[in-house]
Amino acid sequence: MKRILFVALFIIPSLLASAQTFEGLVKDAKTNQPLPYVNVGIIGKSVGTVTDSAGRYRLNLANHDTDSLKLSMIGYIAQTYRVSAFVSNAPKIILLQPSVTQLKEVKVSNRKWKEGVLGNTSQSDNSNAGFNANRLGYEIGTVIKIKKSPTYLKKFNVHISTASTYPVRLRLNFYSLKKGMPDQLLQNQNIYVDVLPGQKDIHVNLEPYNIFVDDNFFASLEWIENGKGRGLMFSAYLSLFGSGAVISRETSQANWEKVGIAGIAFNVLAEY
């Protein structure tokens, strides 16, 4: 009898936890096509994920009834749900409405434009910072200072200090800043980065995305597709007084946090 009671006490919490784990599908409301790499997570908490290449997600919402769940992606209107209401309805398919994005008007004078590299260009394999795990939605980056406004972003670069033994898919994001922390996305298209096994450098041509910035900005890489490996590390440098410290968030919709005193060596070729 005691053995049966013990087994029951062990099973019930497991069943309750699994009852709060939701599997669903995110689609485009107009085309009805699955949406890959949508950010899904509890706002301000380290509970989140990213939809897979077929638009599917799986997320445990236990003990978050009073929190808010948010789904967002570039080019779509974000949706937010009270977790308690979401749990009650348990929608299997979520439709995201495409948003109308208006290209930013850039006033360009007849000045002579200069090309230069912004950010840190370290190629060190000894000092590193980056992804210490392959959590979906894990995002890491740094603030890059401009020299003149407007600045046109042409190419993103970073050296990989520890190469991955498996393929990795990342998303490159650029944000405006608010009180020194990432705020609003600056691009209107997803920029995907595929890293091959053994690859030691990342170079991304930004010219097709027509990104102009008026002030200092935040550049980040986001882990969006699970790999068999564990993490990915980039060249880093000592950040004096923490002014260039790494800024990261653990998963989709989590809060941003400054991490340590090292800076991550992201840089962009730009015209200004």
Does residue 29 contact residue 63 with C-beta atoms inside 8 Å? Answer: no
Pairing relation of β-strands 93-96 and 21-28?
parallel
Residues 125 and 57 in one domain: no
Q: Is the pLDDT of residue 243 over 70?
A: no
Give me the CATH number covering residue 75.
2.60.40.1120
Q: Looking at the domain assignment, is residue 57 inside a domain?
A: yes
Question: Which residue segment(s) compose the domain that 29 sits in?
Answer: 19-96
Residue type, 83: V
Domain boundary among 28, 61, 96: 96
Q: Which of 77, 86, 96 is nearest to 25 (CA)?
A: 96
Q: Looking at the domain assignment, is residue 106 inside a domain?
A: no
Domain boundary among 39, 64, 96: 96
Determine the Cα–Cα distance for residues 266 and 172; give it in Å rounded to an integer. Answer: 11
Does residue 9 contact residue 54 with C-beta atoms inside 8 Å? Answer: no
Q: What is the pLDDT of residues 189-211, one digit of tens each?
A: 999 999 999 999 999 999 999 99
Q: Is the omega angle on the peptide bond into residue 91 within 30 degrees of 0, that is, cis? A: no
What is the tally of structural domains in the chain? 2
Tokens read off for 62: 């236990």
| pTM of the shown model | 0.90
Q: Picking from 46-50, 127-131, 200-204, 254-258, which range would have the lowest pLDDT averaged per residue? A: 127-131
Give me the CATH number covering residue 251.
2.60.120
Residues 76 and 192 in one domain: no
